[in-house]
Chain A
Amino acid sequence: MLQQTIVSDKDFATRSLDTICVNESHLQHRWYHNLKYLVIGILFGIVLIKAEVISWFRIQEMFRLQSFHMYGIIGSAILVGMISVWLIKKKNIRTIYGETISITPKKFNKGQVYGGLIFGFGWAITGACPGPLFAQIGAGTTVILATLFSAIAGTWVYGFLREKLPH
Chain B
Amino acid sequence: MEFLKNPWPWYVAGPLIGLIVPALLILGNKSFGISSSLRHICASCMPARIPFFTYDWKKEIWNLVFVIGIIVGAGLATYYLSGPAPINLNPKLVEEMSSYGITNFDYMAPVEVFNWKSLLSIKGFVLIVVGGFLVGFGTRYAGGCTSGHAIMGLSNLQMPSLIATASFIIGGFIMANLILPFVLSL
> Which residue of A39, A97, A146 contacts B132 across the interface (Cβ within 8 Å)?
A146
The reply to whether A165 and B141 contact each other, CB–CB distance below 8 Å, is: yes
- B160 contacts partner chain A, Cβ-Cβ < 8 Å: yes
The interface residues of chain A lying within 8 Å CB-to-CB of B53 are 156, 159
The reply to whether A76 and B164 contact each other, CB–CB distance below 8 Å, is: no
| Cα-based distance from A65 to B153 in the complex (angstroms) | 24
- A64 contacts partner chain B, Cβ-Cβ < 8 Å: yes
> Which residue of A50, A99, A121 contacts B81 across the interface (Cβ within 8 Å)?
A50
| Cα-based distance from A141 to B93 in the complex (angstroms) | 22
Q: Using A21-B33, A41-B72 as known contacts, say yes or no to A151 and B136 having CB atoms under 8 A apart.
A: yes
| Cα-based distance from A87 to B38 in the complex (angstroms) | 31
The reply to whether B143 and A96 contact each other, CB–CB distance below 8 Å, is: no
Residues of A61-94 whose CB lies within 8 A of B: 61-64, 66-70, 72-82, 84-85, 87-88, 93
| Cα-based distance from A99 to B163 in the complex (angstroms) | 31
> Which residue of A11, A42, A66 contacts B72 across the interface (Cβ within 8 Å)?
A42
The interface residues of chain A lying within 8 Å CB-to-CB of B70 are 41-42, 44-45, 48, 131, 134-135, 138
The interface residues of chain A lying within 8 Å CB-to-CB of B119 are 143, 146
> Which residue of B22, B142, B170 contacts A115 across the interface (Cβ within 8 Å)?
B142
The reply to whether B147 and A131 contact each other, CB–CB distance below 8 Å, is: yes
The reply to whether A125 and B127 contact each other, CB–CB distance below 8 Å, is: yes
The interface residues of chain A lying within 8 Å CB-to-CB of B185 are none
Q: Tell me the dominant secondary structure on chain B's binding face.
A: helix
Q: Tell me the dominant secondary structure on chain A's binding face.
A: helix
Residues of A101-125 whose CB lies within 8 A of B: 101-109, 111-125
The interface residues of chain B lying within 8 Å CB-to-CB of A53 are 13
| Cα-based distance from A164 to B48 in the complex (angstroms) | 17
The reply to whether B93 and A60 contact each other, CB–CB distance below 8 Å, is: yes
The reply to whether A162 and B25 contact each other, CB–CB distance below 8 Å, is: no
* Count of interface residues, chain B, beta-carbon cutoff 8 Å: 134
The reply to whether B62 and A74 contact each other, CB–CB distance below 8 Å, is: no
- B122 contacts partner chain A, Cβ-Cβ < 8 Å: no
| Cα-based distance from A11 to B54 in the complex (angstroms) | 8
The reply to whether B173 and A107 contact each other, CB–CB distance below 8 Å, is: no
Closest to A8 in B: B56
The reply to whether A45 and B76 contact each other, CB–CB distance below 8 Å, is: yes
The interface residues of chain A lying within 8 Å CB-to-CB of B147 are 129-131
What sequence of 0s and 1s flags, for each residue 130-148 of chain A, a beta carbon within 8 Å of any chain B beta carbon?
A: 1101111111111110111
- A2 contacts partner chain B, Cβ-Cβ < 8 Å: no
- B1 contacts partner chain A, Cβ-Cβ < 8 Å: no
Min C-beta distance of B174 to chain A, whole Å:
7
The interface residues of chain B lying within 8 Å CB-to-CB of A20 are 31, 33, 35-36, 143-144, 148
> Which residue of A64, A95, A108 contacts B93 across the interface (Cβ within 8 Å)?
A64
Min C-beta distance of A118 to chain B, whole Å:
3
Residues of B67-94 whose CB lies within 8 A of A: 67-78, 81, 87, 89-90, 92-93
